[in-house]
Chains A and B, each alone.
Chain A
Amino acid sequence: MRRSKINSRPILWAMSSLLAVSLAASAARDPGASAAHRLPWREAGLTAREAAARLLDRFAFGARPGEVDRVAAMGPDAWFEHQLAADFPEARVPAKLAPLHSLAMTSEQYLSTYPPRAAMYREAVAAGVVESKREVGAKGPAGAAGAAAANDAAANQVTGLDRPEIREKLLDFARRKGYRTQREAIGELVSQKVYRAVYAENQLQEVMTDFWFNHFNVTLTKNRSRPFVMSYERDAIRPNALGTFRGLLEATAKHPAMLLYLDNAESTANTGAHTSMARSVERQRDEGGMFGGFRRRRLDEGMRRFGAEQKAKKKPQGLNENYARELMELHTLGVDGGYTQDDVIAVARAFTGWTVYPPGPLRKNVQTRVERAMRADVGFELQGDFLFRSDTHDADPKLVLGHTLAGGRGMADGEDVLDILAAHPSTARLIARKLAVRFVADEPPQALVDRMAQTFTATHGDLKAVLRTLAESTEFWSPATRRQKIKSPFEVAASSLRALGAEVTDPVDTVRWIARMGQQLYAYQAPTGWPDRATQWVNSGALLNRMNFGLQLASGRVRGVSLDLERLDGGREPESREAALATYVPLLLPERDGGETVRLLTPMLRDPALAGRVVGAAPEAEPGEMDEETAPFFGRGARQEESTTDRRRETKSGGKQDYFDSLDRLDRNRPPLHLEPPTPLEQVVGLILGSPEFQRR
C-alpha cells in the first residue's frame, strides 16, 4: 500500500472508535505477551486434546496424524498465537511449490509465458506462420467491402483450427517461442492451493486466504481477469489475510483481477463531467512563470494528441457502477448496510480512472500515451499494474454516505471511499458475522458477532484482534456450536489428505474431485463468492461424490496421492474389519464421538458376501470408469466429456476450438491407474471418510 490511510484520517476513526471505547483497551493487549490460558477451553470443560482438535478443525484444514497430541503438548493457546503470527517455519511447502514456476512470476512474465490465445494467434499471423481470418475473408467474393467491415475483435482469430496441419503449425510456433498453456498455469494455481492447505504449518493463514479470496471473489471463468487470478491471491489476498481489513480493501481494489472482473477498468467519467487531467492542465497553465510559455505549448500539444488518440480509439465512455455496487453490497456494508443508489453512483464516480496498466502484449497499445502523461505530470499514477488515469477520472465534488469529497483530488477520492467504508459500522457487522459463520456456525450467536464487530471497530479492522475475540469467546468453545459446520468440498479434500498423512505429488486429480463435490476452485462466477452454509454444499449429487471421493481416495484411485494407511497405526495390520473400524475412527476423527459410526458400520462389515469377494484377481476396470483418468481438468467424469472438451471449455467466450487444450492433451501420456480391489482396511477408511461425521467440523 502506498501509505497508511489510518493516520491520515484520525477524525473518522476516532468517531467510530468512540462506540467501542470500553473494548479498545482489551483488544489492544500486547499480542506478544504470554499467551497462557486466554482461550477459555478449560472453562468449557474440555481437555487440552479436545481443545486442540477443535482448533485444528476450525483454524486449520483438519488434523494431521499425531497433530492433536502435538498441539495439546504445546498448549492450544500457544498454537493459536503462532497461527495468528504465522511464524512457524514451513517445512514442506517450499519444496512442493518449487517446481510450479508460474507462482513466482510477475504479470509481465506470466503473460509472456502463458499468453492468451488471441495474443498468440496475432503473433503467429504476424510471423506468417498461419493466415489470419481477415486475409482468408478478404479472398472471399465480397473482398474489400467485407474487409472494411471487419473489426478489431475479429482480427484475433485464425481460421482452420479444425485442420490438423494448421494446429500443428501453431503448436510448433508455440513450442519454438517457449509458450506454455494457460491451462498449465491454472493447474499450478489450483495445485498450490491444495499443497498449502495440506502441508502448510501456518494453517490459519491458508484458511484466511481461502476466506478472503471468497469474500473478494474473482473468477477464472472471465477471460479478461483469468491471467491475474494467481497474482491476486498471492499479492492482494495472502499478505493481508491476517493484516487489516483496510489493507485488503485497497489491495483488491487496485488489483487487475478485480478491476477487470467488476469492470472498473472500463469505468470513465460521464460526458460532461470535468476530468482531473483537465483541471491539472488548467492549474499548470495558471502557474505560468518564466517557462510558462514553453510549458503551455507542451501541455497544449500533449492534450491535443491525447484527445485525438482518445477519439481514434472510440472506446465506449461512461460510468460503470458494477464495482461500486458490489464494493458496498458484498465487500463492506452489506445489502442493507445503509447506502442508496446515489451513493453507488458517487462511489463509481470516485473510482473512475482506476484502471489497469496492461502487462504483456497489450501494453504497447497504451505505453507511449501513459509515459507521455506521466512526464507531463497531469495526475497519472502508476503502482505496478495499477494505473490511475486523470483523463478519465471525474474530478467534480461527490457526496458519499454523507461525506463530502472535494473536487479535483484525483486518486484520493477512491482511497477516501475505502476509508469511509472500512470504518463504517455496517462493515464491522458484516465482516464479524461472516467470520463467525465461517468459524462457528451457519447461524452464529448474535452476542458473539456483536463483540467481534466492536473489536473490528475499536482496532480499525485489525483482523488478528477480531479472530482473538472469536477464539476467546465462550461461544466458540460451547458444546452448542460443536461440529456445526459442514465442510466445503475443498475442506473435505484437504482434511482427508491431512488425516491420512497422504503424500501428494500431483493435486490435479484431487481438484477434479473437489469440483465433482460442487466446488470448481477459483471458478465461482458470481462476485458473492460461495455462500458459506451447509445447504450450499449438501445435496444428493454432491453428497454422493463425497462418499465416492472417500472410497476412491482410500483405495488408491485418486491420482497423484499415495497413502500408507497402516503407518497411521504404527505399521500394524488390523486383524479384522471390526478392529480396523475401532482403530481408525478415532485416528481419523480425533476427539469425536465415533460410537455411532462404528455401530452403524459394523453389521455391514460382517457381510460375508463382501468378505468373500475381496480376494482374487483384480478385475478389469470398466471402460466408462477409466475415462475419469483422462477427463479434462475440471471435474468431468464421463466418457462423453472427453470428446467434447473443446466446446465445453469455450462456453464463456463462444465456440472456438481450444487449441491450447489439445496441446495439453498431446503432452499427456500417463499410464492408467492400476485398479487393485480395495483391501479391507481401505474399505473401512473409505467409509469413514465418506461418513456423515467426517463431513462436519
Chain B
Amino acid sequence: MLTRRVFLKGGGMALLAFGAGPTFLNRAALAAAPKASPGRRKVLVTIFQRGAMDGLMAVSPVGDRSLASYRPRLGMSAATASEPESAMLDLGVGFGLHPAFSDLTPLWKERRLAVVHAVGSPDPTRSHFDAQDYMETGTPGRKGTASGWLNRAAGLLGHDATPFRAVAMTPALPRSLYGDTSALAVTNLADFKVRLPGADHVAKSAAGGFESMYEQTSQSLLQSSGAEAFDAIHMLSDAHLASYRPDPAANYPSSPLAQSLRQIAQLVKSDVGLEVAFAESGGWDTHVQQGTSNGTFARRARDLGQTIAAFWTDLGAAQSDVVLMTMTEFGRTVRENGSGGTDHGHGSCLFVLGDQVDGGKVHGRLESLAQDALYEGRDLPVTTDFRAVFSEVAGKHLGIRDHAKLFPDWNGGRISLLRG
C-alpha cells in the first residue's frame, strides 16, 4: 500500500494511506483538525462584478415614480399580463428582480437568497480602479494596505490548510487575495500539473524527479511548498479530474464565469480543502444602451443568474457548507444618460446565497429616490457599508472572530444576514 506525507499548513503532518475509501485529504482533515465536521469545511465563494453593476436595475423598488421619471428608457413595468417575460419579477417585498435573473427566483422563494441594497463604500471615488482596490483591500480611502480582505480572512481561519484553501479562478491573484496567506490563482485545474506539451511521458517522469528533489531540499519553504504542490496534484488526480462531470441537472451557460464556478463546485465537492474562492464577472460598465429586459445589462445578468443557479444545483449535498456572495465596486447614476446607459454612481446591491442566509428578503435600507435625497444629487446613497456585509458573512459562515484584523480602522456594526 502506498503511503504519502500530507503537509498541512500550521505544522501538521500525517502519514496516510490512500487508494481506497474517502479521499485521503478528507482523512487528513479529520486527523489534523478534530473540530472539523466530517468532510468539508465551510466555503465562502465570492464573485466580483467588475465594472459596477446597476443595483437599481438589478433589484428595483416597485412602483417608484421618481425612478420611472429618471429612467424613461430603462424602466421596466412590474408584472403585466401583456409581456410577462419582459416584466420585473415581483419579489413580493416591494422590490422587483430584473427578469434576466429569473433563474434565481426558486432560490429566493426557498429563502436561501437575500439581497442587500444600497450597499457600498464610504469613499466617494467613482474610479473603477480605486473603488475596486478599496473594496478588495477592505480599507476604503487607503491605497497602501498590503493585503486583500479575503487573504486576511483565509489567514484568520485558525486551522490547518491545504494548498486549495484560498483559490482565485483568475489568471493572476486578485487584489482581494494579496497577502501573507498562500493563495492559488488558476484558471484551469487541468493545468495544475507538471506539463510538457507533446511529451506527456517525459512530463510524468520529470514530475517524479522534481518531487524527489523538492522532498529532500534543505530549504524548508521550498520543501514544504514542493510537497504541497505535489500533494495538490495528487489530490486533483484523486478527484478524478479528467473524468469529473458536473451534476447533469446543473445547467451552466458557456461563459468564463460559469467555467470558474463549475471548477469551484468541483473543488468543493472533491473535498480538497477549499475555504475561500474568488471569481469575477466582467461587463457591468453599462454606459451605453444598457437595455431593459434585453440588452447589455440583461445579458450579463442572465449569465450571472444562470451560473449561480447552476452552481447551486451542482453543489447538491454540499450546499449546506457554502455561502456565495456577489460584490461590485459601486453603483450607477440614478438617471439614465443620453446614450441609454448609466454612468458611475455610488450605492449598489449585492446577493448572498446559502442555506443559513436569512433569505427571501431585501436587507439594508433603500432611501427615497427623491432628488434631494440622492448622493451628490445623482446617485443612490450608501446606507450599508460593504464591510458590514463582508464581516457578517466571514463571521457567521467562516467563524472569523477577529474583525479588527479583518477590517482594520473599521468599527461599524455588522448587518444581520445569516442565522446562527
Contacts and interface: CB of A to CB of B under 8 A. Distances in A.
A586 interface: no
A541 interface: yes
A448 B85 CA distance: 72
A618 interface: yes
B30 interface: no
Nearest to B233: A544
A677 B198 CA distance: 7
11 contacts: A136-B339, A159-B339, A330-B144, A540-B225, A619-B198, A653-B129, A655-B283, A675-B197, A678-B196, A686-B206, A692-B213
A690 B213 CA distance: 10
B146 A648 contact: no
A648 B222 contact: no
B172 A486 contact: no
B112 to A, nearest CB: 28
B182 A149 contact: no
Interface string B341-359: 1011000000000000000
A654 B128 contact: yes
Interface stretch (B183-191, B314-322, B385-393, B396-404): B183-191
Interface string B166-191: 00000111010010101111111011
Interface string A529-565: 0010011001111011001100110010100000000
A223 B226 CA distance: 37
Nearest to B170: A648
Nearest to B228: A540
Given A142-B73, A610-B202, A628-B197, A538 B221 contact: yes
B187 A133 contact: no
Given A539-B228, A547-B206, A638-B187, 16 more contacts: A149-B333, A151-B343, A154-B341, A325-B143, A329-B144, A518-B172, A526-B133, A535-B221, A544-B193, A551-B196, A603-B212, A634-B171, A636-B171, A652-B128, A655-B286, A678-B202
Contacts of B198: 618-622, 625, 675-677
Interface in B376-391: none
Interface in A311-330: 322, 325-326, 329-330
Nearest to A603: B212
Contact of B289 (A159, A223, A607): A159
**Most A C-beta atoms less than 10 A away, residue of B142, B225, B232:** B225
A154 B339 contact: yes
Contacts of B335: 149
Interface in A114-171: 133-134, 136-138, 140-142, 145-151, 153-154, 157, 159
Interface in B194-220: 194-203, 205-210, 212-214, 216-219
Given A528-B146, A609-B205, A648 B212 contact: no
A136 B341 CA distance: 11
A539 B72 contact: no
A141 B73 contact: yes
A597 B200 CA distance: 23
A609 B201 CA distance: 9
Contact of A526 (B145, B183, B337): B145
A620 B133 CA distance: 44
B340 A140 contact: yes
Contact of B217 (A136, A675, A693): A693
B405 to A, nearest CB: 16
A644 interface: yes
A652 B341 contact: no
Given A604-B209, A647-B256, A655-B282, A621 B182 contact: no
Interface string A676-697: 1110000100110011110110
B184 to A, nearest CB: 5
A48 interface: no
B183 A539 contact: yes
A133 B163 contact: no
A625 B194 CA distance: 12
Which 9 A/B pairs are nearest by Cβ-Cβ distance?
A654-B285, A150-B338, A655-B283, A137-B339, A675-B198, A625-B197, A638-B188, A654-B51, A540-B229
Nearest to A644: B256
Given A541-B229, A691-B213, A154 B187 contact: no
A687 B205 CA distance: 10
Contacts of B308: none
A188 to B, nearest CB: 21
A527 interface: yes
B192 A544 contact: yes
B336 A146 contact: yes
Contacts of B171: 515, 634-637, 641, 648
Interface in A589-603: 596-597, 600-601, 603
Interface in A634-660: 634-641, 643-644, 647-648, 650-656
Contacts of A518: 172-173, 185
A138 B51 contact: no
B218 to A, nearest CB: 8
A145 B217 CA distance: 70
A626 B345 CA distance: 43
Contact of B338 (A147, A551, A691): A147
Given A149-B338, A677-B202, A652 B129 contact: yes
Contacts of B288: 133, 136-137, 154, 157, 159
Contacts of B340: 136-137, 140, 142, 146
Nearest to A161: B288
A687 B206 contact: yes
B339 A625 contact: no
A525 interface: yes
B229 A544 contact: yes
B259 interface: yes
B143 A650 contact: no
A528 B213 CA distance: 34
B210 A687 contact: yes
Given A137-B289, A548-B195, A151 B283 contact: no
B282 A552 contact: no
A159 B283 CA distance: 14
B196 A557 contact: yes
Nearest to A636: B171
B287 interface: yes
B343 A153 contact: yes
Contact of A137 (B132, B173, B286, B338): B338
Nearest to B344: A153
Contacts of B280: 651
Nearest to A641: B187
A620 B185 CA distance: 28
B149 interface: no
A222 B129 CA distance: 6
Contacts of A473: none
A28 interface: no
Given A534-B221, A540-B229, A544-B193, A137 B144 contact: no
A221 interface: yes
Contact of B225 (A150, A539, A686): A539
A528 B144 contact: yes
A486 B128 CA distance: 34
A613 interface: yes
B130 to A, nearest CB: 8
B143 A520 contact: no
B337 A687 contact: no
A614 B287 contact: no
B187 A692 contact: no
Contacts of B95: none
Interface in A215-231: 221-224
A624 interface: yes
B396 to A, nearest CB: 29
Contacts of B286: 655
A675 B186 CA distance: 24
Contacts of B206: 547, 551, 683, 686-687, 690
Contact of A653 (B128, B182, B185, B197): B128
A647 B133 CA distance: 18
A696 B335 CA distance: 57
